Amino acid sequence: MKTKMLWVGTSKNPKTGNIPQGYVGQTIDLAKKSCDGCPLKETTCYHWKGSSQMGHGSMTRGYAKDPKRYFLKNALKNSVRSAKYARGAVGGDPSIFSRKEVEGFHNEVKGFGLKGLILYTHFPFGKGAHLKGLALGSCDLVGADALVNDGWRVAINLPMKEKGVKRHPDVPEWDGRGFTTPEGKKVVICPAQTNRGVDCNNCGLCDPTKKATALIGFLVH
């Protein structure tokens, strides 16, 4: 079975804002398969260890009855006028798609009039390497230099969690410190995690096609 991206036009996620969102996999098994090999899958993954997987499950059941409802075209048509960006692969990893397919997502989003598509792959060193320039490469601080030196923009999984997060008791709470890579490159912590009123929709820093800082850090959330 060929894996699809299931899209919805709106979201209640306060971190992203009310924007179109895509979830990898028309079944949960396909979604989890796309994540096989990710070191975060069984530890601190915000999707598989959080509540967003429940919405994903509901979408897979809806897709079985009415697939067209979850096409990107319909999601864009049903988005709110304030939406500036779309977020792909909220659950699952986009490495399962060809470069041509992902280029198609970007083109359709921009063709509708949005500014861009926010997308990450946890496999920039392997099965997601073909998405350089179309997705941010996700890794830890140790691997970040190699990706930046290879031309990637990078989403870094930081070793601390957001203040007030009760989950992941073994992960220390962020104390306000800054982060740099082993080679001394400065990491910009996700503005939505450090500033009130900022979300993906009014930030757009993680648009992989944007000419901006190469290193964006994410506290565990």
How far, CA to CA in Å, does 125 sit from each of 33, 95, 188?
Answer: 18, 11, 22
The reported pTM is 0.92
Adjacent-strand bridge partners of 21: 8, 87
Ramachandran category for residue 211: left, alpha or beta (phi over 0 → left; psi -120 to 50 → alpha): beta
Residue-wise pLDDT tens digits, 35-82? 888 877 667 676 666 666 667 878 889 888 999 999 999 999 999 999
Residue 31's SS3 state is: helix
| pLDDT at position 160 over 90 | yes
Rounded to an integer, the average pLDDT of 170-181 is 94
Q: Report d(CA 26, CA 215) in Å as an integer.
A: 32
Residue-wise pLDDT tens digits, 199-216? 999 999 999 999 999 999
Q: What end-to-end distance do the CA atoms of the chain give, in Å?
A: 32
Residue-wise pLDDT tens digits, 182-203? 999 999 999 999 999 999 999 9
User: How confident is the model at residue 39, as a pLDDT?
Assistant: 74
| Amino acid found at 28 | I
Lowest mean pLDDT among 25-34, 53-62, 127-136, 170-179: 53-62
Adjacent-strand bridge partners of 179: 187
Could you count the other beta carbons within 10 Å of the beta carbon of residue 37? Answer: 12
User: How confident is the model at residue 50, as a pLDDT?
Assistant: 61
The tokens for 68 are 């067209």
